[in-house]
Structure 1
Amino acid sequence: MLRISTFSTAIATASNQPGLRHWLAALLLAFITMSGLSYINFLPALVSALAGEIGFSEVQAGQIVALNGYGALCGSSLAIFLVRNIRYRPVLMTALLLLASMDIATLWLDDFLLLLGWRFLAGLAGGLALGLGVALLARHPYPDRAFGALLFVQFSVGSLVIYLLPTLEAMLSAHAVFYVMASFAVLSLVFVCLLPTGRLLAVPAQAPGASLGSDRRSAVITVLLLLAAMLVYQIAASAIWAYAALIGTAAGIANETVSTTIAVTGMLGLLGALLPMMLGNRYGRLPWLIAGCVLSISAAVLLTFSGQGPYYTLALALLFFSWPAVQSFLLAATAVLDSTGRLATIAAVVSSIGLATGPLLASALITEGNFSQMLQVGASLFVVSLLLLYKPILWSGQHAKEA
């Protein structure tokens, strides 16, 4: 049996190129972090299940998902104050155990208001696990690659679950998606046991990204713009992602074809995540971020023509390719600006706000199966994100480079 007792060294030190220990550390932490908010990876399947056989309306499904996301926001906010002073193993295990229990218990809840509160609490536990996981990933010596691993795991899991879920629903019930979510939390409990013991203490003060005090005002502006860009991008992407399946069916595409299309095009997210994993910050982050935002804008525009199958497929392919790359590079930019991991945890909170707000915004913009207004707003938000990230990425690149 593989014993991973040397991962503390892998997280604390770096060589010129990442070794096997660095990759193993990144992948384990990526899966644990993913499981805290695993439903995001197959959000269309969750929304479709809630708005289908489980019996809620499309708007109610969006609200349930949004409350889960706001619970995650509170949990990640709590992690901000814990990352420097706690022993992460017992906290992570407690959060994941609560999350698994609440996901299973959801099967017996059919009252809308009760389910709203219950999923908020489940999100609270998952958000805490997410925040701690992000802090650990931020302290990885290769943050671009570590966050690329996170997005790689997310899109791998998302595509696989969306592809298998119809079969699982036939075998179990419409609640199969909650069985899957609980299973990920349980598996993450095992992975936590393989991680090193200790506290999430700050790394040495002279680590990359730790010396920004010489221009405090520019640093603050950089951080705020960077977080704003991340927030706006996540709102737009999650709004479209939440209703991706319903956009296809509303356009007259068969349910089975929609599920297959989402699963297959979602695999392109793996390629998008591989960019930061393989390249790191070797060629800079800005060109990839600009390209990713442009592709995302194109995806939102193309989805307005989703009645034609090729446009629907191409749009999802563009979105799924660009989303993980954009998020990985933005998270890595926050990691190099603060070596303690606290800023990355704040970024996780901001990301949770965006992920929760996107479905809620989308539910307010759709009218009787018409998604045009929502898609137009999504395209506009991608443009805003591109404008917001340009200067902070340039500034951070001048002050902090990958080790």
Structure 2
Amino acid sequence: MHSSESLPARDYRVGENSELARVFLAFLATAGLFYVNIMPALVDGLIQGLGFSNRDAGLVNSANVYGAAIGAFVIVLAVKKLNWRRSAYALLGVLICIDLVSMFLASPQSLMAVRFIHGVVGGMLVGIGFAVMARTAQPDRAFGYLLLVQFGLGGLGVMYLPGLVPQFGIAALYLSLVAFSLVTLLMLPFLAEYPLAKPSTHTTSASIRWPMLSLALLATFLFQAANMGLYAYIIGLGKQAGLDMAFISPTLGIAAWIGILGSVGVILLSTRIGRVVPLVVSILLTAVATYVLHYAQSPWIFAVTNCLVGASWAFAISYLLGLNAAFDRTGQTAALGGFASKMGLASGPAVAALVINENNYALLVNLATVALVVCAAVAFLPARVLDHKQ
């Protein structure tokens, strides 16, 4: 008889730079922030299911993402010292508990407080995911998969979840977040170790070009704020334009799925033609499509512009996150990029909630368009510098 100790251990983990690993990492980096991908459903669900005002619904979700920004910032400071896998297990468990508690809350104040805490925990988890993704080969491709997962499943969410609220209440939305976290928990054991790279002249803090990184972070903030400020209220915009939910929900779901094409474009293109052209062109295309939402009363314009925004959003943010990650290989600047992204995702709906009043959607469209144009100008220089460095 052979002793079981003589048998080789079976390695069940996927290759650290395999496509499947990138998918698993995409789930890890999405789990703490998946509510952003279904934010139109959450905002409309709070309004329809709990009777919240436009302002309160927006501020609850904004508090969630501001918490995420704080969590992401904490991870920037601690990411080099943490055991990322153990931390991820713990944070996912806490997220599930908070989402279950949220199902039983019905006042704006209590939800703002609890969702803020949820955001802090989720932001830490996303920051860990970003840092680990930065340790893979070709982080741009990893971020492309991230957006593929977010837009693919987010599309399902905005298509079907609003219809569940009248029947099951707001609990249906929070249970979808619980389900996502549970799936991510099942994926964690199959990921490789992704050890921290040894310090070198290429990864020290002193070698990072902080002025260029600052511009990249500002561009990331502006892009996310512009898009999410409008996207959080896109269902209301469609309703005010005279469209009904039977058209709006499927349209937004399909638009998110078309956004997957933007993610696939990043995966296939990567940095073969550099970053400047694909990044600046995609941001400006997002700005044009956003402005055309002034004419959303036409169903085909509402549908086409949302599809264009979905594809260009996924494409451009993949490059912006990859741009931040490219400034070092330890994952620290990637985590900073996650912080800037979350600050934008939180600030957009916060500003929108304060200026929308009852139905001032035209002002939201104009603010988003201007912010995107400024974003393109800010992103140009850091992208150009990194292209010349290659």
TM-score (norm 2): 0.93
Match of 2:301 among 298, 305, 311: 311
Amino acid at match of 2:94: L
Q: Please, which runs of 5 or more residues in structure 1 have no aligned partner?
A: 12-21
**Distance of 1:100 and 1:168 partners within structure 2:** 20
Per the TM alignment, residue 3 of structure 1 is displaced from its structure 2 partner at its CA by: 5.7
Contact 2:14 / 2:190 at 8 angstroms: preserved in 1? no
The residue that corresponds to 1:201 in the other structure is 196
Match of 1:5 among 6, 13, 31: 13
Contact 1:87 / 1:197 at 8 angstroms: preserved in 2? no
Per the TM alignment, residue 104 of structure 1 is displaced from its structure 2 partner at its CA by: 1.1
Task: Find out whether 1:258 has 2:252 as its counterpart.
Answer: no
Aligned partner of residue 271 in structure 2, secondary structure: coil
The residue that corresponds to 2:3 in the other structure is none
CA offsets 1:324-372 (integer angstroms, 9 cap, x no match)? 1111111111222100010000110011100000101111221321200
Match of 2:239 among 249, 254, 273: 249
Contact 2:356 / 2:363 at 8 angstroms: preserved in 1? yes
The residue that corresponds to 1:119 in the other structure is 115
1:37-76 counterparts in 2 under 5 A? 37-76=33-72
Match of 1:291 among 276, 281, 297: 281
The residue that corresponds to 1:352 in the other structure is 342
CA offsets 1:16-56 (integer angstroms, 9 cap, x no match)? xxxxxx21111100011111100111111111001112221
Aligned partner of residue 266 in structure 1, secondary structure: helix
Contact 1:155 / 1:270 at 8 angstroms: preserved in 2? yes
The residue that corresponds to 1:224 in the other structure is 214
The residue that corresponds to 1:372 in the other structure is 362
Amino acid at match of 1:26: R
Match of 2:313 among 319, 323, 329: 323
- When structure 1 is superposed on structure 2, of 109-118 and 150-159 the one drifting more is 109-118
Aligned partner of residue 304 in structure 1, secondary structure: helix
Contact 1:298 / 1:318 at 8 angstroms: preserved in 2? no
**Distance of 1:357 and 1:82 partners within structure 2:** 24
Aligned partner of residue 184 in structure 1, secondary structure: helix
**Distance of 1:42 and 1:263 partners within structure 2:** 10
Per the TM alignment, residue 211 of structure 1 is displaced from its structure 2 partner at its CA by: 7.8
The residue that corresponds to 2:27 in the other structure is 31
Contact 1:162 / 1:263 at 8 angstroms: preserved in 2? yes
The residue that corresponds to 2:388 in the other structure is 398
Match of 1:382 among 367, 372, 376: 372
Q: How many residues align?
A: 381
Contact 2:71 / 2:120 at 8 angstroms: preserved in 1? yes
1:148-297 counterparts in 2 under 5 A? 148-166=144-162, 168-169=164-165, 172-197=168-193, 200-203=195-198, 205=200, 210=203, 219-297=209-287
Per the TM alignment, residue 155 of structure 1 is displaced from its structure 2 partner at its CA by: 0.2
**Distance of 2:26 and 2:220 partners within structure 1:** 19
Amino acid at match of 2:357: T
The residue that corresponds to 1:99 in the other structure is 95
Amino acid at match of 2:139: P
Change (3 A) 1:108 1:143: same
Amino acid at match of 2:257: M
% identity of equivalent residues: 29
CA offsets 1:50-99 (integer angstroms, 9 cap, x no match)? 11122211110000001000111111111112211111111111111111
Amino acid at match of 2:380: Y
**Distance of 1:262 and 1:284 partners within structure 2:** 31
